[in-house]
Chain A
Amino acid sequence: MPTSVSDAVARAAGYSVQSDASLTQNTSEMIAKVNAIQNEVFSRVAAENRFFASSVALTSSSGPPSRAIDLSVQPSIERLFLVQMADGTLVRPVDIEDTAAEIAPRYYVLGQTLNEVGTDWGGGGIGTVVFTVWFAFTANQLDPTGNLAQLLTIPDQHADLVSIRLASYLAGKDVGRDPTEIQRLDALYDARLSVVIDALTHYAGAVRRRFVSPNAFPGGSD
């Protein structure tokens, strides 16, 4: 059964006998915090593996002068890792200041817009193109103005991550608590997150790789 925000909050409160109802009474605060924790978990996982991954076909603007694809229409994108043209050709990511780093076809991302370099996408820079965008996705965003019955995206078996992180937040919020409690909860969270990432990574089996991929240093995954 999917975990709700209410479940996560109740479990978080359970990490300390000192957590009373006043700490969690602000519904909007609890939803926003749970949302942020979920996003953090998905972001960390996306840097290490492709467990939470999907693809979508997106159509560019028609140009000229230059074509672009609006990524904001797919709000669940956490991290792009592969962009392909309709025929499967790899479209390569570059920085706007160093477009010679890759060979055509190339793109650069500014904000949530994927932009064409020159006329790399063919057709002399004119006409729409359809790309398949592969991405690590983030959690479904919770509505802070909604209720606590909203469901988490993180799988149930790993939902305790959210509760532990929230418990640490509640401990910090409750002035006068023993500071070692926060340290203990943070250490517990780090250890648990490490286990979760390992579990999600080994799901795909022993993948043969020539290179470290995905990698987390600037430039993104390969």
Chain B
Amino acid sequence: MAHTYLDILDAARDYSEWFDRPRVPGGPAIRMASDVQRDLYFKAILRDPWRFAQRTTVSAPFTLGAPTANLPAYHTLLMADVNYLGDTNFPDEIPIVSSERQTLYQQGTAVFVEGGALWLTGQTDDWSDVASITVWYIPTLSDLAQETDPITLPDGAKSALVLALAARFAVRVNGFPIDDAQPAKGTITIDVSSIAQMAQAAEAEWLKQIGYQRTRARAAIRGMDISMPKIVQGLS
């Protein structure tokens, strides 16, 4: 079951009676949650770039010498391939090159990106038999905006998310006056390090799962590493 931000928020608030809404209002909470999710997302894609990969397809006709299509917001491009007219079952991978290397592909099919748009190298003839280009990418992660927003990370990351958020709540409220109107009541004391340790352990456990799952996927194809971003090849 996919979790919503509210599921994570409620579970994080459970860790202390001091994590109530007046002390951790919805604004700071959702900004912290967005940071926490993005932090875990980046750590996860370092271990398995394909975990959150998506694809977008650009169909002919193409434009040369100008952007042929705008790409969705992405963190990293992973791979591109072309599908040929009348032969859609046998796509060919093409290089994703950096913009300054485009001239090396004046006689071939490659793509490069400028300003978030996809550009093509080569000549018109190079693309005349291409029906479409598919680009795989790791999408950027949007900030959470509503309590009903779905969490991008999979269910297995719930504990890591909840505890990381609770740890930030703890840092926020630790030292707050218990009662603004009566300072003599003292300040809130929370065992921040204990929550932080639990958060670290949950994060390590989840990242271990990511690594394990990726290892299993690689083993199934006899050592070919399908997880490596192909952008490396394009730059080589």
A interface residues (Cβ-Cβ under 8 A, vs B): 92, 94, 100-104, 210-213, 215-220, 222
Contact = CB atoms under 8 A, between A and B. Distances in A.
Contacts of A218: 180-181
Nearest to A105: B146
A94 B146 CA distance: 16
Contacts of B14: 210
B30 interface: yes
Interface of B: 13-14, 17, 19-22, 25-28, 30, 145-147, 179-181
A101 B179 contact: no
| Most A CB within 10 A of own CB, among B13, B17, B30, B145 | B17
A219 B179 CA distance: 11
A92 B26 contact: yes
B30 A220 contact: no
B13 A210 contact: yes
Main secondary structure of the interface of A (DSSP, over half): loop
Contact of B17 (A104, A212, A220): A212
B22 A219 contact: yes
Contacts of B28: 101
Nearest to B31: A100
A220 B22 contact: yes
Contacts, number: 46
A217 B179 contact: yes
Nearest to A98: B27
26 contacts: A101-B25, A101-B26, A101-B27, A102-B25, A102-B26, A102-B27, A103-B26, A103-B147, A104-B146, A210-B13, A210-B14, A210-B17, A210-B20, A211-B17, A211-B19, A211-B20, A212-B17, A212-B20, A213-B20, A217-B22, A217-B179, A218-B181, A219-B22, A220-B22, A222-B20, A222-B21
Contact of A103 (B19, B20, B30, B181): B30
Given A102-B25, A102-B26, A103-B147, A217 B181 contact: yes
A100 B30 CA distance: 11
Nearest to B5: A103
A25 B144 CA distance: 65
Nearest to A216: B181
A109 to B, nearest CB: 16
Contact of B22 (A100, A104, A210, A215): A215
Contacts of A100: 27
A110 to B, nearest CB: 19
B162 to A, nearest CB: 14
| Most A CB within 10 A of own CB, among B13, B26, B28, B179 | B26
A216 B14 CA distance: 21
Nearest to B13: A210
Contacts of B146: 103-104
Given A101-B25, A210-B13, 10 more contacts: A94-B25, A101-B28, A102-B25, A103-B145, A103-B147, A210-B14, A210-B20, A211-B19, A216-B181, A222-B20
